[in-house]
Amino acid sequence: GRHFVTTSDREAQLYATEGLRLLGRMEHGRPVWSAAFSGDSRRFATASSDGYARVWDTETGDAVGDALLHQRADGLGSGDQIASIDLDRTGSHLVVITLQNEAWLWEIPSSKQIGERKLGVKTAKFSPDGQRLLLSGNSGAELWDSELKQRIAGFERETWQPKLVLHQAIFSPDGNKVLTLGYDDGATEIELWDAATYQRRIVIRDPSRVHWVVFNGDGSRLATAGDDDQARETDEIEVV
């Protein structure tokens, strides 16, 4: 990409990839924990430990809409710390996951909340076309419509594994695959699913704890990083 964002105490920094030029500083009231670009890279979002999320214009560095405060569900404190955020393809919708495992969906630039899920949501990712949301938590991974109004389907195992705790769920770059990463008694289980039929196609088990997994640009390979301080890349993978 042409830009990238770094985060630090009370601000995010926007850089141009070419020449590593600093283009702007985006201020928050407390440390910035998360950042995400829209699919077209024209907007990016930042989120702080004070419970505020903001969306910015990549070219100008100007704020788009209002700062979005996420109130704690228990009514304690002024805001709920944000665990992660994601923008859709055009930057017109922002999904926020709080440390209380709630999903909040906002319309940009109107700054209007248009959807929410209250129970057990740990991660949320938009599909590359912006038409679906992938939610994950201890109960599994689910596909929802882009406004969190209707559940489309769940990615369900033939035999339920109550010990398996999901840590991550992502789309492949073309949106045709879904990958989930979970833990079972310290070991890691990476599962690859068909996003159209919701059927599991590939299972990769690792005795160590893998923290993150990503697709390469064409979705044919995976890269993982975990507790053993090693980064690995898989051989070519294919959903048939």
- Letter string b/e over residues 112-147, b meaning 16 or more CB atoms within 10 A of that residue's CB: eeebebeeebbbbbbbbebebbbbbbeebbbbbebe
CA distance readout (Å), 215 to 29, 46, 86, 139: 34, 23, 17, 24
pTM (whole model) above 0.75: yes
pLDDT digits (tens, 9 = 90+) for 121-167: 999 999 999 999 999 987 789 999 999 999 999 997 655 455 677 88
Model pLDDT for residues 61-113, shown as the tens digit of each residue: 999 999 998 865 555 444 568 889 999 999 999 999 988 888 999 999 999 99
